[in-house]
Amino acid sequence: MKGQTAHCDWKSAPQKQPSPCDRYKHACIICRGFIYLYGGRNTTSLGDFWRYDIVKNEWEMLDCSRDGPEELEEHSMVAYKGTLYIFGGMVDSAFTQAKTPLWIYDTDSARWTECRNVPAETEISAPTNRKGHSAVVYHCSMYIYGGYVGIRGISQEFWTFHFDTRKWLCISTPSDSTGPGARHGHSAVVYHTGMYLFGGLMGLSEQKDLWKWDFISSSWSNIRTSLGPPPVVGHASIVFKDSMLIFGGGISNSSPNDDLWQYHFHTQTWKKLSSTTKAKFSPKMYHCILGIGVDFQTTSDFTDTVPSHQKSKQKDHHQLVTIPKHTRFCKYFRQQPAYRVLSNKERNAIEMKTFSLPLEPAGFCAFRSTSEAQLDPNRATNVESKDRSLHLFVSSEKKTFAAAQVVREEEGAITQDTAPVDEVSCDTNVLLLLGGKPLSSFSEISFWQMEFDTF
């Protein structure tokens, strides 16, 4: 397999107060440079909503009292164009079975929208409440598979929700014999034109099978591989380069594991990565993992999953923009802040700068491969005199925040009181682990990071 992992150790990332309490069965997503966290379980179900500033290492509790969700656990959360979509996870009751458990949060206006009750005669037109399902984004739709549906048991329903029309469509029903079958506690990711679903619980049996849903042919296929992870439930997965990373989980009613597995999509092979640590790290179950860096899949990638050989043919004006290679910087997570909060003027300048840049395939980010002096001697001198180190600015939508770097350099916004950070390699990526069972002995949420230096 191309590439190796040089460093693969978990390191604790202590959190400032206030911060969320530790939890499991929660949901996390990165959107526009922030981590959003909702709900989960501690001693009881939780209904709190938090936003984490990656740059400043600060948590902020957000309001969800009006039209927001209630206490949720084993729900899902995805992001699309600056909007969060939370589905499922409600406490089972006759009431929850009669409504569509979908809440929409606009990060710009900080407003919630709740999808109202579904009349009984049209209930089939939208999915009912469930837990432990998977949710992914492909193009302009969210795809939800399986889950535990109260007294109805485990589901193998496959639904899609179109973001623009806000309409549901059932792709498959319990009568379908093909596919992964009824399960919950599994994981799913999107890579190019396929959704890859792994593991989970079927009845009382944990699984280790891998399935692919082809968005083009609308069909399932079972990917048979040798070796690979053992049967597992309550794990988490993420796309890294041309691979899927799977961490943690375990067998029900037993201790979780701290295994980190890598599945390479092209070779269809598994590789177990070392994830030992000298710190007091506990294996996790029902946790969340997020990725920061040039090689982790982002929200931008979800909306632009067309194969590379077709991208050159596209002329879509909605295609996300990037910054020219000689001015782009991709950063990663550190515990110390590296930037002050942007003013409204700077934010407007960033927005104008972003939309004025030339188009380039989304999901690609590179460091300077040509010296600044060769490209623009004057600008290179100015930048070098201000600061010789790269500054941290992390985002799930790397292009927007790279634009912030350019604007701030041009407007002289990088000041001496900005905390410098070490120079970042082009190959640096950070995997974040939030929460999980067993809970930590501290009141704050368990927060770990693993740095990847790949070559």
For residues 47 and 412, the answer to whether their CB atoms sit within 8 Å is: no
CB 225, CB 270: distance < 8 Å: yes
Condensed to tens digits (0 to 9), the pLDDT of residues 405-450 reads: 333 333 333 333 333 223 334 457 999 999 999 998 878 999 999 9
Report the Cα 156 to chain-centroid distance in Å.
23
DSSP 357: S
Cis peptide before 283 (omega within 30 of 0): no
CA atoms within 13 A on the CB side of 277: 18
| Poorest-pLDDT segment among 45-59, 76-90, 418-432 | 418-432
Q: In the structure encoding, which two tokens stand for residue 73, read together?
A: 């656990």
Q: Where are the domains positioned within the chain?
A: 10-295+428-453, 315-410
Q: If you average pLDDT over every residue of the chain, what do you get? A: 74
**Distance (Å) of CA 37 to CA 53, 136, 276, 344, 375:** 12, 17, 26, 25, 42
Q: Cα–Cα distance between 197 and 135 in angstroms, integer?
A: 10
pLDDT tens figures, 63-79: 988 888 999 999 999 99
94 band by pLDDT with thresholds 50, 70 and 90? low
Tokens found for residue 66: 């009006």
Dist CA 11 CA 4 (whole Å): 20
Pairing of strands 269-273, 260-264: antiparallel
- Higher pLDDT: 159 or 395? It is 159
Give the right CATH number for 10-295+428-453 from 1.20.140.10, 3.30.110.40, 3.30.300.30, 2.120.10.80. 2.120.10.80
